[in-house]
Amino acid sequence: MWMSLLHNITSLRWIYKEPNGLCSQTQISAQFSNLLPRHWDTLSFAHTIKTVTSLTLQLVSSTWYLRQFLTTFNLLHFNGIGTLCSFSMQSTLNLRRPEVVNLSVSVSVTDALGLREERVLGSGATAQISLATDVNNPDEKKALKKFTFPEDENPAAIRRIRFHFQNEVSFLQDLHHPYIIHMEKAVRCPNSLVIVMELASKDLYRALPRITDEEVSQYFRQITEALSYLHSRRVVHGDVGLRNVVLTSEGVAKLCDFGHSQTVPKNANSLKSWGSRPSYQGPEYKRGQPVLDAFKLESFCLGVLLWALLFRKRPQRGMDYLKILENDQTISATYRECAQLLLCPKPADRASVSQILELLTNNQQANLRVDHDVTPRHSDDQSAQQERTI
């Protein structure tokens, strides 16, 4: 069965020989769907097909890239009768690294890139996100992350901003995953630092009150896959939260903002510092103190994110997440177990991200709720009040 599967996948080689370049996403999805054995559950493979299609569209027309594409499949989890349950995308595609452009004179970055800024999409402590349009192709939209320097020219603040820019760029150059934001290039000027990224319509923080239970399951799975990929490379995101998950127009959740990311040493899981918001920090973390297990601390962050998705509430410092979970009887056993394992107060008892991904894989058909017609909703007034108090 394994050899048959690999033979079927390699027959996709014709896709890369189209005279006009790559096929459309619909064509690739249809072709891949037709290659799957008929007895496999199509629902189990819906997520896989979408992932494969997304990755395929990023590849160029060559047999060498096809081989790199095939190596990204890690086929696992057979049950007793040998039926495939899932694919897991855990390898990195060896794609061209996004370039960093250095401009030695003070020029408009948008002019240098051939882009026109349309409007501001959002802003944070160190950067502002804007929508930009390609001046030669109005249908081509980008997101510009512009790092802003303080008006008082505080040297320490400027060093911090430059560090976050360089840190984010260095990680995004080497990370390639369908659920991690894609950086196209970065630009360094004397008075500005800019990252050009794929466009996402909104972040999870603002979308939270209006998402459905089906979207919660999908987004949580995607974020978990992205974090599992990072941890397999001994990288921690360092600031997992609603604000750092963006949603594309196709409804795909992607991790963004890698300014606090770090590589964990091979001989230990500890780090000297941590950057997540207080409402996401595990009880073992003490500000200014070393982190003993960075991976388990990030597991807690993922648990808080799951809690926020389940209850459509934005986390706040001092909340007893487990108590609130225990008092709600509508959450299904699978998602209740995920939240409880991730939010364990003791790191030694806390699940790793890979364990949560395995739990999701083994329970792919699980509903979010026992009574899945029940979906917690908050009015816009309630959401606005929560946003003001965080």
Q: What is the mean pLDDT of residues 85-112?
A: 61
- The pLDDT value recorded for residue 107 is 67
Instruction: Kindly tell me if the per-residue pLDDT of 55 is higher than 80.
Output: no
Do 85 and 114 have their domain in common?
Answer: no
**DSSP letters of 19-47?**
TTSSPPHHHHHHHHHHHS-TTS-HHHHHH
HSE-CB at 310 with a 13 A cutoff on CA atoms is 29
Do 236 and 323 have their domain in common?
Answer: yes
In this structure, what token pair is assigned to residue 238? Answer: 């360092």
- The pLDDT value recorded for residue 42 is 40
In a domain, 94, yes or no: no
Q: What is the mean pLDDT of residues 249-263?
A: 95
pLDDT digits (tens, 9 = 90+) for 303-315: 999 999 999 999 9
In a domain, 241, yes or no: yes
Do 251 and 123 have their domain in common?
Answer: no
| Cβ 196 vs Cβ 185: under 8 Å | yes
- The pLDDT value recorded for residue 95 is 56
**DSSP letters of 61-114?**
S-HHHHHHHHTTEEEEEE-TT--EEEEEE-SPP-PPPPEEEE--S---HHHHHT
In a domain, 172, yes or no: yes
* Count: domains in the chain: 3
In a domain, 233, yes or no: yes
Domain containing residue 275: CATH number: 1.10.510.10
| Cβ 124 vs Cβ 241: under 8 Å | no
Diameter over CA atoms, the chain: 67
Average pLDDT, the chain: 77
Q: Domain boundary at 168, 197, 226, which?
A: 197
Greatest mean pLDDT among 81-85, 95-99, 371-375: 95-99
Q: Domain boundary at 147, 174, 197, which?
A: 197
Q: Domain boundary at 89, 111, 132, which?
A: 89
User: Exposure of 59 by Cβ count < 10 A (0-12 exposed, 13-18 middle, 19+ buried)?
Assistant: middle
Residues 222 and 80: their CA atoms lie apart, in Å, by 27
- The pLDDT value recorded for residue 169 is 95
Do 64 and 22 have their domain in common?
Answer: yes
Do 193 and 207 have their domain in common?
Answer: no
| Cβ 114 vs Cβ 184: under 8 Å | no
Domain containing residue 159: CATH number: 3.30.200.20
Do 190 and 208 have their domain in common?
Answer: no
Instruction: Kindly tell me if the per-residue pLDDT of 17 is higher than 60.
Output: no
Do 345 and 219 have their domain in common?
Answer: yes
Do 183 and 209 have their domain in common?
Answer: no
Domain that holds residue 192: 99-197
pTM for the whole structure = 0.72
pLDDT digits (tens, 9 = 90+) for 197-236: 999 989 999 999 999 999 999 999 999 999 999 999 999 9
pLDDT digits (tens, 9 = 90+) for 314-330: 999 989 999 999 999 99
Do 114 and 63 have their domain in common?
Answer: no
Q: DSSP 3-state assignment of 295?
A: helix
Greatest mean pLDDT among 3-7, 15-19, 297-301: 297-301
- The pLDDT value recorded for residue 335 is 98
Do 73 and 106 have their domain in common?
Answer: no
- The pLDDT value recorded for residue 375 is 52
Regarding predicted confidence, which is higher, 242 or 44? 242
Do 109 and 236 have their domain in common?
Answer: no
